[in-house]
Amino acid sequence: MTTQTVPAPRPEGTAAATPLLEASGVVMRFGGLTAVNNVDLTVNTGEIVGLIGPNGAGKTTFFNCLTGLYVPTEGTVRYQGTVLPPKPHLVTSAGIARTFQNIRLFANMTVLENVLVGRHTRTKEGLLSALLRGPGYKKAEAEGREKAMELLEFIGLDHKADHLSRNLPYGEQRKLEIARAMASEPGLLLLDEPTAGMNPQETRAAEELVFAIRDKGISILVIEHDMRFIFNLCDRTAVLVQGQKIVEGDKETVQNDERVITAYLGAPLEGATDTAASTEADQ
Amino acid sequence: MTTTKSPALPLPLPAAKALVLAGGLATAASTFIHWTWTSEFPGDLTVDGYPGGLQILTLAAGLLIALFSLPLYGVKGTRWLTPAGPNAPVLVLGAAAAATTWFTLIAIATELGGLANLEPGGWIAGVASLLPLIGALGLPQTGPTVGLPSSGGVLAITRHYLGSFTRLVGPNPDLAPVKPLNRWVETLIIIAVAGLGLTVFTYGIVTEYGELFIGFLILTALGTWALMRAGLVSRLTALTARHRGTTTAAAFAAAAAFPFTQSDDHFASVGVNILIFATVALGLNVVVGLAGLLDLGYVAFLGVGAYAAALVSGSTSSPVGLHLPFWGAALVGMAAALVFGVVIGAPTLRLRGDYLAIVTLGFGEIFRIAVNSLDGVSGPKVTNGPNGIRNIPDLDILGFDFGQAHTFGSFTLGRFANYFLLMLLVTAFVVTVFSRANDSRIGRAWVAIREDETAAQAMGINGFKLKLLAFALGAALAGLAGTVMAHVSYSVVPDPYQFAGAVPPNSAFLVAAVVLGGMGTIAGPLLGATLLYLIPEKLVFLKEYQLLVFGIALVLLMRLRPEGLIANRRAQLEFHDKDTDTAAPAETDDAPASTDPGSTAGLTTAGA
Ligand SMILES: Nc1ncnc2c1ncn2[C@@H]1O[C@H](COP(=O)(O)OP(=O)(O)OP(=O)(O)O)[C@@H](O)[C@H]1O
Ligand SMILES: [Mg+2]
């Protein structure tokens, strides 16, 4: 089948932008179901890019393809010009970190330990040095704790460093997931619905947090259902419907696009419902 | 949270207190009168003026009640005994005295055939031991009072009363921290506690008959609960956390003192076997407790180590004509187990959960079958099949012959005592390895994998590599223990290295020791292994029902205390999380303790 890819209108003022993440022609099929269909997406350095779409559009699946959790059926993902291997831990050490839509903290570890685990790729101490406990090990460990505490301060959870993460309230768990992801010192942060389940105040605070993270020089790709959040934050937004990217552009472009409106109002698009590309599954 | 309620029994307060104190003293006194007329019941309870056997336990319970009723009366200088309030500890101790005493009386009646075999002392003890419990029920407790059971059925009623009792006693306290004492005083306390621990453990190990051992278990379990409820345990935990080094040294010294308390080498042999079993359980804890990999064939690594050491021991039945010194044999054993671990782990660790458990179980059995077959008939002659490798010579390290008894001053250390001390060093090594690995980047990665492997991978952790590392480290530690085991037991045969059996070590017992003791802790598997070794050793009268009873006990324990006897540091934090904002800032930046408070343990039903 042919895919209609709308040529992405360049956002204003990105003439000098260098692409950080380039996904091209990403396809993900589960049996007969094409969850992600030939999606191209670029995130430039210093950008905040939004990814929206109805439930089941394939946004999370696309994230999983980017981070190596799924091996895409087709297509490549490049980060800083090199093709990423489809192994989650290698993607993370290359510089992409993520959070999960359904929070996946290490529930029985403390807040601080969660962040320390996030630093795994940025530290090198192996088993032997842990057993021998030389001065180098102690220094690295102390430094790691210091950096982790700094991050906790940044997101405002330093006073709960010794709490078990499962005992945190929901909003703080989301924040902790962000801190844990940031601990790997990424160049690109993928946030999967960071404000899901938050009240308006918390959502506002999350917006501030995302800006603050960008100001640290980290690019961001964020999935959200909250349109206010997306349009406040994002330099650019891509819309995914039934696994296909139908529009990409700035606020006005997206808001005024008819296909987006139909998709969100639930009107049938190509004769399917808004859940998934179920027509393809039938064939 | 100390909401004082009306007592369960309507007694005037002075009467209730008096009942506790007088009951405790009377219980203690009753042990000086004979309880039965014949010495057929083990322990000889027929002598006046000289408590013996199970009477000693009742005596101890009575004295403890008397001691803990002093803070009840507000006696100066005794309030430190019950920092969390004096009422609940006497309630639990009352139950301990009653349970221990009535267990004894029932045992006498059943074994000798009827209540007629009880002499006046027994009756007095039976009545006296109930008084403190009644008195304590007349004291206001924090929990809700005991209501009537809602429905019939013996089980339902028992459950109702047990549950009500637990609720009445209330949860173990969260105490606000206190000012540290003088450094030397604290050190002395640690030494005293280590000494007490040694005494209790030694008593348990040398109990001569099953009844005494059961009584001992009842008293220690309930006694520990009382101490926890009193708040002494959390005080002690805080104190040991301040002096990790001292605590470790004291615990080690206490364990090392054990063979010196024994004139008979028999209990040293029990001791060394417990140590081996406990050390292997601790090694398994790396795999199960930290990395969360259920390995049901772990005992094979112990076997690999034992066989490797036996082959290079210079034994006449070893086809390898090599006689390495112990350090060489230990290295060979560790290396062989490590290689075996990697060989088994590499293909299987890609599986998750139940599949891994089943495959490891299979590999464990394959090991046993393989060594059975390498007998020169069905395969090459390496292990002599079921006959095993025999006549393993005793170790000789720097001229110290482990096979001979050695005399130091007035102490004589027999063969098993020698091996006990050697094995203790190995245990200390494994404890160090475990605690250092646990509190490190690698240990955190293991726990992360256990908690959520996908998220761990997304954090940059190479799941497969780290799981293989855990598997290899666990295997090497078991292999090391195996090298000592080969020498201790003179010979190495395939039988013990099976999945399930009536006596340890076998894979099922090892997993049980870890889960029962407390996954991810150090003290947990040590305690769990000790119990699981002693129970089949002491309760021989259960004979073929051992495994059945064992299974029922495990099911019950997992219902009552799923986190194991010793809760993980992380699980403990869960309780501390309640008084969050006061306690947290005090301990922000300090590196968290590397080991778990290993000194105390107890059966509690905190969360029932
Ligand atoms: N592992 C999988 N196996 C089979 N189907 C899958 C798998 N993962 C996702 N899908 C399917 O792919 C489609 C897209 O799912 P995805 O979770 O990516 O949607 P989403 O856009 O993130 O939706 P939401 O907004 O609800 O989070 C769905 O139909 C889903 O059922
Ligand atoms: Mg999603």
Point out the ligand nearest to the CA of residue A240.
1
On whether both B427 and B531 belong to a single domain, the answer is: yes
Average pLDDT over residues B453-482: 95
Highest mean pLDDT among A241-250, B171-180, B319-328: A241-250
A277 alpha carbon – ligand 1 mean position (Å): 10
Quickly state the pLDDT bin for B598 (edges 50, 70, 90).
very low
Pick from B137, B109, B95, B103: which is nearest to B6 by CA?
Answer: B137
Q: Does residue B520 surpass a pLDDT of 60? A: yes
H/E segment holding residue B270? helix B265-285
Contact B602, B565 (CB under 8 A): yes
Please report whether residue B246 resides in a domain.
no
Quickly state the pLDDT bin for A278 (edges 50, 70, 90).
very low
Q: Kindly list the residues from chain A whose CB atom is less than 8 angstroms away from the CB atom of residue B577.
A: 163-164, 167
Burial class (CB in 10 A: 0-12, 13-18, 19+), A26: buried
Q: Name the residue facing B442 among A89, A121, A130 (closest C-beta).
A: A130
Q: Which atom of ligand 1 is nearest to the CA of A276?
A: 29
Local structure of residue B150 (DSSP, 8 states): S
Computed on alpha carbons and rounded to an integer, the radius of gyration of chain A in Å comes to: 20
Q: Given this model, what pLDDT does residue B302 score?
A: 96
B482: domain CATH number is 1.10.3470
Whole-number Å distance between alpha carbons of A206 and A174? 9
Distance from the first to the final alpha carbon of chain B: 18
On whether both B446 and B580 belong to a single domain, the answer is: no
On whether both B394 and B481 belong to a single domain, the answer is: yes
Q: Which domain holds residue B482?
A: 262-402+410-560
Shortest distance, CA A245 to any CA of chain B (angstroms): 25
Four-point Cα dihedral B168, B169, B172, B178, nearest 10: 120
Contact B469, B442 (CB under 8 A): yes
Q: Which alpha helices (H) appear in B349-414, and where do they start and end? A: 354-373
Q: Does residue B594 surpass a pLDDT of 80? A: no
Q: Name the residue facing B451 among A109, A127, A159 (closest C-beta).
A: A109
**Is the N-terminal amide bond of A88 cis, ω within 30° of 0?**
no
Please report whether residue B238 resides in a domain.
no
Q: Does residue A242 surpass a pLDDT of 80? A: yes
Contact B448 A160 (CB under 8 A): no
Q: Within the 286-345 window of chain B, which residues sit less than 8 Å (CB to CB) from chain A?
A: none
A79 alpha carbon – ligand 1 mean position (Å): 24
Whole-number Å distance between alpha carbons of A246 and A238? 8
Locate B84 and state its tokens.
């969390």
Pick from B77, B55, B56, B65: which is nearest to B21 by CA?
Answer: B65
Please report whether residue B484 resides in a domain.
yes
Highest mean pLDDT among A176-185, B4-13, B412-421, B577-586: A176-185
Q: Given this model, what pLDDT does residue A283 score?
A: 38
Quickly state the pLDDT bin for A267 (edges 50, 70, 90).
low
Average pLDDT over residues A100-113: 95
On whether both B352 and B488 belong to a single domain, the answer is: yes
Residue of chain A whose Cα is closest to the Cα of B464: A89
Q: Given this model, what pLDDT does residue A103 score?
A: 94
What is the largest distance, in Å, between two alpha-carbon atoms of chain A? 66
pLDDT, one tens digit per residue, over A115-130 is: 999 999 999 889 999 9
DSSP, residue by residue, B83-142: TT-SHHHHHHHHHHHHHHHHHHHHHHHHHHTSGGGB-HHHHHHHHHTTHHHHHHHTS--S
Q: Kindly list the residues from chain A whose CB atom is less than 8 angstroms away from the CB atom of residue B442.
A: 125-127, 130
Q: Given this model, what pLDDT does residue B266 score?
A: 87
DSSP, residue by residue, B491-548: -B-STTSSS--SSSSSHHHHHHHHHHH-TT-SHHHHHHHHHHHHHHHH-GGGGGGHHH
Contact B460 A180 (CB under 8 A): no
Q: Given this model, what pLDDT does residue B4 score?
A: 53
3 state DSSP class of B382: coil
Q: Does residue B1 surpass a pLDDT of 50? A: no
Q: Given this model, what pLDDT does residue A110 score?
A: 94
Q: Does residue A264 surpass a pLDDT of 90? A: no
Mean pLDDT of chain B: 85
Q: Alpha carbon of B371 to those of B318, B359, B384, B476: distances in Å?
A: 13, 19, 8, 19
The residue whose two tokens read 């993370």 is A92
Average pLDDT over residues B451-469: 95
pLDDT, one tens digit per residue, over B321-354 is: 788 889 999 999 999 999 999 999 998 888 877 8
Q: Given this model, what pLDDT does residue B148 score?
A: 63
Whole-number Å distance between alpha carbons of B540 and A228? 73
Pick from A11, A50, A9, A51: which is nearest to A214 by CA?
Answer: A50
Please report whether residue B252 resides in a domain.
no
On whether both B534 and B584 belong to a single domain, the answer is: no
Name the pairing type of β-strands A33-44 and A188-192.
Answer: unpaired
pLDDT, one tens digit per residue, over B20-68 is: 999 999 999 999 999 988 888 888 888 888 888 899 999 999 999 999 9
CB proximity list for B395: less than 8 A, separation 6 or greater: B326, B401, B402, B403, B419, B422, B487
CATH homologous superfamily, domain A1-95+186-271: P-loop containing nucleotide triphosphate hydrolases (3.40.50.300)
Pocket of ligand 1 (CB under 6 A): A 30, 33, 35, 53, 55-61, 101, 276
Q: Which of A108, A133, A160, A191 to mutate to test the interface with B (most CBs of B within 10 A)?
A: A108
Q: Alpha carbon of B147 to those of B90, B159, B378, B468, B604: distances in Å?
A: 21, 13, 68, 54, 22
Q: Which of A114, A132, A162 to mutate to test the interface with B (most CBs of B within 10 A)?
A: A162
pTM, whole model, 2 decimals?
0.87
Q: Which amino acid is at B346?
A: A
For atom 26 of ligand 1, the residue with the nearest CA is A55
Fold of A104-185: Rossmann fold (3.40.50)
Range of weakest confidence among A121-135, B159-173, B191-205, B257-271: B159-173
Phi, psi of B389 (to 5 degrees): -100, 120
DSSP, residue by residue, B6-52: --SS---HHHHHHHHHHHHHHHHHHTTS--BS-TTSTT----TT---
pLDDT, one tens digit per residue, over B386-407 is: 888 888 888 888 888 888 888 8
CB proximity list for A245: less than 8 A, separation 6 or greater: A5, A6, A39, A40, A41, A238, A239
Please report whether residue B232 resides in a domain.
no
Q: Name the residue facing A125 among B440, B456, B592 (closest C-beta).
A: B440
Q: Name the residue facing A130 among B441, B574, B591 (closest C-beta).
A: B441
On whether both B524 and B591 belong to a single domain, the answer is: no
Pick from A84, A27, A35, A79: which is nearest to A56 by CA?
Answer: A35
Which of the pair, A34 or B590, is modelled with greater confidence?
A34
Pick from B74, B93, B98: which is nearest to B85 by CA?
Answer: B74
Q: Given this model, what pLDDT does residue B5 score?
A: 61
Burial class (CB in 10 A: 0-12, 13-18, 19+), B330: buried
Q: Given this model, what pLDDT does residue A28 score?
A: 96
pLDDT, one tens digit per residue, over A191-234 is: 999 998 888 999 999 999 999 999 999 999 999 999 889 999 99
Give chain B's domain count: 2
Quickly state the pLDDT bin for B570 (edges 50, 70, 90).
low
On whether both B208 and B288 belong to a single domain, the answer is: no
Whole-number Å distance between alpha carbons of B430 and B282? 7
Phi, psi of B496 (to 5 degrees): -65, -20
Average pLDDT over residues A140-157: 95
**Phi-psi region for residue B376, left (φ > 0), alpha (ψ -120 to 50) or beta?**
left
Domain with CATH 3.40.50.300 in chain A: 1-95+186-271, 104-185
Which of the pair, B582 or B525, is modelled with greater confidence?
B525
Range of weakest confidence among B65-69, B234-238, B435-439, B552-556: B552-556
Average pLDDT over residues A24-50: 95
Q: Does residue A11 surpass a pLDDT of 60? A: no
- Partners of A44 in the beta sheet? A19
Q: Alpha carbon of B348 to those of A22, A213, B297, B334: distances in Å?
A: 36, 41, 12, 21
On whether both B294 and B191 belong to a single domain, the answer is: no
DSSP, residue by residue, B414-448: -HHHHHHHHHHHHHHHHHHHHHHHHTSHHHHHHHH
On whether both B434 and B299 belong to a single domain, the answer is: yes
Mean pLDDT of chain A: 87
3 state DSSP class of B209: coil
Q: Kindly list the residues from chain B whose CB atom is less than 8 angstroms away from the CB atom of residue A107.
A: 451-452
CB proximity list for B6: less than 8 A, separation 6 or greater: B140, B145
Contact B287, B349 (CB under 8 A): no
Please report whether residue B242 resides in a domain.
no
Q: Given this model, what pLDDT does residue B441 score?
A: 95
Please report whether residue B346 resides in a domain.
yes
3 state DSSP class of B78: coil
Report the complex ipTM: 0.88
Please report whether residue B505 resides in a domain.
yes
On whether both B595 and B531 belong to a single domain, the answer is: no
User: With b meaning 16 or more CB within 10 Å and e meaning fewer, what string describes B467-484?
Assistant: bbbbbbbbbbbbbbbbbb
Q: Given this model, what pLDDT does residue B407 score?
A: 84
